[in-house]
Amino acid sequence: MSDVALFGELTSGSHTARFAAIAPTSWQTGTDPVGEPVQVTGGNVKFDATADVWASGSITVIAPWPGPTNELITVFGGEIFLARGVETGAGGTAWSPMGYFRVTTDTQENAAKGPIAITLDDRMATLIESELITPLVFEPGTTVQAMVETLVLDVYPLAVIEFDSDSGATVLGRQITVEENRYDGLSDLADSLGQFVYFDERGILRFADIPDADEPVWTIRAGRRGSMVQPRRSLTRVGVYNAVAAFGEGMDDTPPVFAVAYDAGPTSPTRWGGPFGKIPRRYASPFITTWSGARSAAAAMLKRSLGAPYSVSVSVVPNPALRPYMPIRLIYDDGTREVHVIDTFDLPFDASTDAGIDTRDQTTTYMRVE
């Protein structure tokens, strides 16, 4: 049973939620860090596939103000590991880690004796802020892994990096210069590989493939014993495209390449050439040097946007294992069934608040790539 299915079963009826917050005493990865427990009274974490920082949020803690007696929640390098769990019976708890978060701000409205409100961002936020003093140049033949390690380990010397589909062994086909922003280089690289880059719940930097949306990982039902609390839906064409043209461009003699991915679903409301129109997005990257690379990048970027005109926002009983890009099935009061992909997931850090999910319809995923 997958984690999503397990927690879906555990939360489908009456259940007891559990929460864990640990301030690690050193840089760590994994889901069982060594550190000091933090007393949290509430908060939330939002996972967002559309944002540069995958996970961010806020918590309220009962703790001394950061200083000589409590350096663990300081903004000067402090981190907090969060996990949400559900009791399984016989004293056991199933835990779903939420990840490692740096302390971005500390606020105490009632100075000296009130609780402390902490805003949190995952480890990507520091990479984004750690701009380069001078440009970095990567020569042709450099592996993707070597480039990523150069950009990341300078900031996080103990960082762990993982690549799906063995993409770390890919070599650069031309000279690449990262001018200022490390994250821009990492993000552009991920797009060119047909992947996305983020820090996962273990605190590991991952270059991940876009998951297939064919099989829903969880069904959210309205009505008795259902997890759906209140759905709201909308349609918009603003910012929606139905084709991606991916180009390889650089300042060298490497022949330019390009490929185009189209929404070609015969029943898709945004199909290329249908009533919706022909709305392409152009993506150019020096990382693209082959036609297969251009095809992969174009297909992955279009895959992330299919179904975007129709979105649903729904409040649900919290399933702490849900994450963006996961496909879910929605069943409404009238029996209507729809498959959607999660764009954002807002997970509360208390037992009385519903979780929030923003989705896009995923009724068609048929593409044509040329």
Model confidence over 328-349: pLDDT tens digits?
Answer: 999 988 888 888 999 999 999 9
**Assign residue 320 a region: left if phi > 0, alpha if psi is -120 to 50, beta otherwise?**
alpha
Looking at residue 364, what is its pLDDT?
Answer: 55
Residue 146: per-residue pLDDT: 98
**Under 8 Å CB-to-CB from 155, ≥6 apart: which residues?**
126, 127, 130, 182
How confident is the model over 287-307, as pLDDT tens digits? 998 888 899 999 988 888 877
Task: List Cα–Cα distances, 321 to 94, 132, 151, in angstroms.
Answer: 11, 35, 30
Question: What's the token pair of residue 137?
Answer: 């140049």
pLDDT at 276 over 80: yes
The pLDDT of residue 255 is 77
Element of type H or E holding 189:
helix 182-192
Q: Using CB atoms within 10 A of its CB, is residue 253 exposed (0-12), middle (13-18) or buried (19+)? A: exposed
Whether residue 68 is predicted with pLDDT greater than 90 in this model: the reply is: no
Domain-wise residue ranges, the chain: 3-122, 131-209, 218-369
Question: Strand 327-331 relative to strand 35-37: parallel, antiparallel, unpaired?
Answer: unpaired
- pLDDT, averaged across the chain: 91
Judge whether residue 123 has pLDDT over 60: yes
162-177 pLDDT, tens digit per residue, is 999 999 999 999 999 9
Q: Which band of pLDDT confidence, cut at 50, 70 and 90, is reported for residue 266?
A: confident
Q: Which residues does 128 contact at the CB level (< 8 Å), separation at least 6? A: 52, 53, 181, 182, 183
| Other beta carbons less than 10 A from residue 5's beta carbon | 14
Distances (CA, A) of 239 to 72, 279, 306, 308: 42, 10, 12, 9
DSSP H or E segment with residue 300: helix 291-303
Distance set, CA 244 to CA 143, 185, 192, 278 (Å): 26, 20, 12, 11
Residue 349's closest CA among 313, 314, 320, 316? 320
In the block, tokens 């996990």 appear at 83
Q: How many CB atoms lie within 10 A of CB 255?
A: 8
Q: What's the half-sphere exposure (Cβ side, CA atoms, 13 Å) at 223?
A: 9
- Specify the CATH superfamily of domain 131-209: Baseplate protein-like domains (3.55.50.10)
CA dist 236 and 60 (Å) reads 36
Picking from 247, 309, 317, the residue whose alpha carbon sits closest to that of residue 284 is 247
Helix then strand then coil, % of the chain, to nearest 5:
15, 40, 45
Q: What is the rounded CA–CA span in Å between residue 154 and residue 156?
A: 6
Q: Which residues contact 197 (CB under 8 A, 6 or more apart)?
A: 186, 187, 189, 190, 205, 206, 207, 208
Q: Compute the average pLDDT of residues 93-117.
A: 94
